[in-house]
Amino acid sequence: MIGADITMKFPLNSNKGISTLAVIISLLVIVLLFLMPNYVKSTYILHIMILIFINIVMGSSWNILGGYTGQYSVGHSAYFGMGAYTTLILMQFRQIPPWYGVWAGMLAALVTALIIGSICFRLRGPYFVLASIAVAEIFRVSALILKDITNVFEGTLTTEIPPLTINGTVITDFSSKVPFYYTGLVFVLIVILATWLIQHSKLGYFFQAIREDQDAAHSLGISMTLYKNTALGISAILTSLSGSLYALYVGFIDPTTVLSLELSVSIVLICIIGGIGTIFGPIIGALVLVPLSEALRSNMIGQSLISSGLVSAESKFGNFLTENLSHAHVLIYGILVVVVILFMPDGVLGFFKALSAKKRKETA
């Protein structure tokens, strides 16, 4: 008969969907998030929230292709970059306001995705991963070569975003972080809604079938071309949203930031940390990654170690920390990837699910 191991890995009841309690809490959180800028004026906190929102969108979009459909693209920066560059280029050179530019970015990402899909989907498993990396690298290297167009945004802040007016009333002139915050929040809601809709539709079933066993799915009437490309298309479009927002918010983009392998890896990391193939996974992943990398970048960890007296500011170690920890965030990514893969391959959520299933089994 089946041993305890199997039932631990495959708990008795597949708890699909989210409990009512979780939904209520989520709605409360959303309301709070909408109200937050009224009460919290710290620009730094708003900044962190915006970064978290961007990361959630990045992770959740990837999740649709990687988590649900099982196609691990490690080249998603291509779509992020397409969104970023399209939106900024249109605004800078054609004075097209970003609320239209974003749509162009999505279209560009979609076209890119369909081209990439036609090449990469003929391959499976690790070969697909390699091809996705190679294609993204082609984009990055090409962008580096086409400096005239793509490096214009290097070191120069973009021209100010035109004020958003409706019926003649100025809603915002984008001089504060608040409009970016709300845009980010709205994008997050869009992505989460998209994921939820997919999960509860025929698409969700077919995507997961492809992930579980491609040949079986194929033989059950699921067209690989149609559904894989649909997953990729949706994923690419949503990823481009995060790219566009990032570009508009930061105003400073170059191929090394928005088209890099490092970015692609961090996108995957967001999902892996939280838990692939779940709605909340990318959220948790973003909540872990963003504060961590910010803490490193801004030297918070180094400073707090020094100010708490654990490390002397004059000591060699202290100097080392202050100088170098800010560059260490990629190192931390690497360590996180290794730790998660080795010890928590199903991510934080998966880890806790397995733990609770084990408890349930023991008390049953």
Q: Give the footprint of another protein on residues 92-131 (CB under 8 A).
A: 119, 122-127, 129-131
Does the protein bind another protein through residue 263 (CB under 8 A)? no
What is the DSSP annotation of 101-114?
HHHHHHHHHHHHHH
Residue identified by tokens 């080249």 is: 75
Closest CB 222 distance from another protein, rounded Å: 6
Count of residues near another protein by CB under 8 A: 71
By C-beta, is 160 or 212 nearer to another protein? 212
Does the protein bind another protein through residue 337 (CB under 8 A)? yes
Structure tokens at 337: 């990837």
Instruction: Give the C-alpha distances (Å, rounded to integers) separating 299 from 289, 317, 329, 335.
Output: 15, 14, 10, 18
Closest CB 58 distance from another protein, rounded Å: 16
Binding mask 162-201 for another protein (x = CB under 8 A): --------------------------------------xx
Instruction: Give the C-alpha distances (Å, rounded to integers) separating 321 from 301, 303, 317, 329.
Output: 9, 8, 6, 13
Question: Taking Cα atoms as reference points, which of 10, 25, 60 lies closest to residue 278?
Answer: 60
Instruction: Give the C-alpha distances (Å, rounded to integers) separating 229 from 33, 225, 308.
Output: 34, 6, 53
Interface with another protein in residues 32-91 (CB under 8 A) = 72, 74
By C-beta, is 10 or 44 nearer to another protein? 10
Interface with another protein in residues 194-253 (CB under 8 A) = 200-202, 205-206, 208-209, 211-213, 215-224
State the angle between helix axes of 281-297 and 329-343 in degrees (0 to 180), rounded to the nearest 10: 150
Structure tokens at 349: 């959520």
Closest CB 7 distance from another protein, rounded Å: 6
Closest CB 225 distance from another protein, rounded Å: 8
Contacts of 181 (CB under 8 A, 6+ apart): 36, 37, 46, 49, 50, 53
By C-beta, is 44 or 127 nearer to another protein? 127
By C-beta, is 111 or 216 nearer to another protein? 216
Question: Taking Cα atoms as reference points, which of 360, 103, 154 lies closest to residue 257?
Answer: 154
Closest CB 360 distance from another protein, rounded Å: 14
Does the protein bind another protein through residue 142 (CB under 8 A)? yes
Instruction: Give the C-alpha distances (Å, rounded to integers) separating 307 from 44, 298, 301.
Output: 21, 15, 10
Does the protein bind another protein through residue 17 (CB under 8 A)? no
Closest CB 240 distance from another protein, rounded Å: 22
Among the residues of 213-326, which ranges form H helices? Answer: 214-219, 224-250, 255-258, 261-274, 281-297, 300-307, 316-324
What is d(CA 173, CA 176) in angstroms, rounded to the nearest whole number? 8
By C-beta, is 68 or 79 nearer to another protein? 68
Residues 242, 80 contacting (CB under 8 angstroms): yes
Interface with another protein in residues 306-335 (CB under 8 A) = 324, 327-328, 330-331, 333-335
Kindly tell me which residue out of 272, 283, 284, 311 binds another protein, with binding defined by CB under 8 A: 272
Closest CB 339 distance from another protein, rounded Å: 8
By C-beta, is 177 or 329 nearer to another protein? 329
Closest CB 221 distance from another protein, rounded Å: 4
Contacts of 73 (CB under 8 A, 6+ apart): 62, 65, 66, 120, 128, 129, 132, 232, 235, 264
Kindly tell me which residue out of 22, 24, 141, 149 binds another protein, with binding defined by CB under 8 A: 141
